[in-house]
Amino acid sequence: MSGSRGLRKAAKYDWKQTNLANFGSDIDKKVKKESAKTEPAWQGAGRAPGLQIWRIEQFKVKDVPKEDYGEFFSGDSYIILNTYKDKDSDELHYDVYFWIGKYSSTDEYGTAAYKTVELDTFLDDKPVQHREVQGHESDLFKSYFPKGMVIMEGGVNSGFVRVADKAEYIPRLTLVSRDKNKKVVLKEVPRRLPLNSDDVYVLDAGDILYQWNGNKSSPFERNKASDFICQIKSKRGEVSSVVLEEDSTSDSHPFFGYLNEDPDDDDDSDNEDPTADNKLYRVNTDTRDYELVKEGGVTQDDFKSDDVFIFDNGQAVFVWIGANASPDEKKNGLPLAHNYVSKSGKPWRPLTVIKEGSRSEAFEKALKA
């Protein structure tokens, strides 16, 4: 997280309209279509177990410092590689993701997708490919950040200014709360009332940090907020902090003067139906049509090596690519998944592209559900 965190709000883009089927045209020209082996960012990729993260900056892949892992700007797109070993062997396996911020431009999204496929090529087509959207991340993706994810407004192109420039600095309000799995997570939220008494909030006003403790918040949330404030102080330097208790803080306190942000009327609602029936489609890459072949219980035996399938369980979408599928089918797994989910009415859902023989914990769990 940069010490200069004040920034103007990013322009809102509709990343959902990005047409990934157009690889080879505008995006390729802008990225200048280098081969995977000549991309400097990939030279140390996947050599040992662990997590590696890159951010897209002006169509280039830039390393994210390890101390900033888990912090994402809503105006940017990222590539994340998780490398791990089998329990029974030393063979390396990979999951490669691209993460799309809510305000990430279509060009950034397209570049991240293109570069994700390039990284897959660099690693000899071994990785399982994933796409994640801000606010709707899969449990597997969130598990890589045991201290929680922090989503911040703005991004690399959103006009960074120094905290000293108070007239330009836009305060940030971070919610510290427990998710459905009772894990404490951090998320930047609009600066407006009401505040939830079950939670803790951290307001970053540039030269002062406020921690507001709801009267029903847990010690875990309070400790997490305190750690977050210490993290900001360690990077920014001289900055004061104040802890406020809900029951003893006057409504006229300066803290509440910052809670005046206008509502964002363009939020995606998280309305997945956990009881939705499984649907399995066979893909025709010539016509871009999807033939429904099964509903309800889907098993591994339903996937045939000569074809490409889309498995939709209502909460996530998986593209399974058979070993004997055509070269065109194999290279277009990600665009196929994007095109399908864009028309599904729930375009933010996690996407996973799996090649026959690859391991995918999320896919195996979805089949068993």
Mean pLDDT score of the chain? 81
pLDDT band at residue 369 under the 50/70/90 scheme: low
| Residue 9 reports pLDDT greater than 80 | no
DSSP bridge partners of 160: 7
Query: What does the pLDDT read at residue 309?
Result: 93
Query: What does the pLDDT read at residue 193?
Result: 92
If one compares 314 and 5, the residue with the highest pLDDT of the two is: 314
pLDDT band at residue 319 under the 50/70/90 scheme: very high
The pLDDT of 157-164, averaged and rounded, is 41
307 HSE (CA, 13 A, CB side): 15
Asked if the domains 172-258 and 279-367 are classified in one and the same CATH topology, the answer is yes
pLDDT band at residue 156 under the 50/70/90 scheme: low
| Residue 34 reports pLDDT greater than 80 | no
Least confident of 73-82, 159-168, 173-182, 225-234: 159-168
Q: At a CB cut-off of 8 Å and minimum separation 6, what does 116 contact? A: 79, 96, 97, 98, 129, 334
Instruction: Please tell me the class of the 172-258 domain.
Output: alpha beta
Would you say domain 20-152 falls under CATH 3.40.20.10? yes
DSSP for 150-166, please give it.
EEES--TTS-EE-TT-T
Query: What does the pLDDT read at residue 332?
Result: 74
pLDDT band at residue 21 under the 50/70/90 scheme: very low
Q: Please write the tens of the pLDDT for every residue from 263-306.
A: 654 444 444 444 457 899 998 767 767 889 998 889 999 999 99
Query: What does the pLDDT read at residue 168?
Result: 52
The CA–CA distances, whole Å, from 275 to 137, 271, 313, 342 equal 19, 12, 9, 21
Helix intervals (H) in the chain: 26-31, 106-122, 139-142, 219-236, 254-257, 327-331, 333-342, 361-368
- Percentage of the chain surpassing pLDDT 70? 81
Query: What does the pLDDT read at residue 16?
Result: 59
Spatial separation of the C-alpha atoms in residues 268 and 157, rounded to whole Å: 23
Sign of the C-alpha dihedral, residues 196, 197, 200, 202?
positive
Query: What does the pLDDT read at residue 28?
Result: 47
If one compares 259 and 22, the residue with the highest pLDDT of the two is: 259
| Residue 232 reports pLDDT greater than 90 | no
- Say what the pTM is: 0.72
Is 204:5 a contact under the CB 8 Å cutoff? yes
Q: Please write the tens of the pLDDT for every residue from 68-87.
A: 898 898 889 999 999 999 77
Least confident of 61-70, 301-310, 341-350: 341-350
Query: What does the pLDDT read at residue 169?
Result: 67
Instruction: Please tell me the class of the 279-367 domain.
Output: alpha beta
Query: What does the pLDDT read at residue 20?
Result: 54
The residue extents of the domains of the chain are 20-152, 172-258, 279-367
Burial 328-363 (b: 16+ CB within 10 A, else e): ebbbbbbbbbbbbbeeeebbbbbbbbbbeebebebb
Spatial separation of the C-alpha atoms in residues 338 and 21, rounded to whole Å: 9
| Residue 167 reports pLDDT greater than 90 | no
- Percentage of the chain surpassing pLDDT 90? 36
Query: What does the pLDDT read at residue 276?
Result: 57
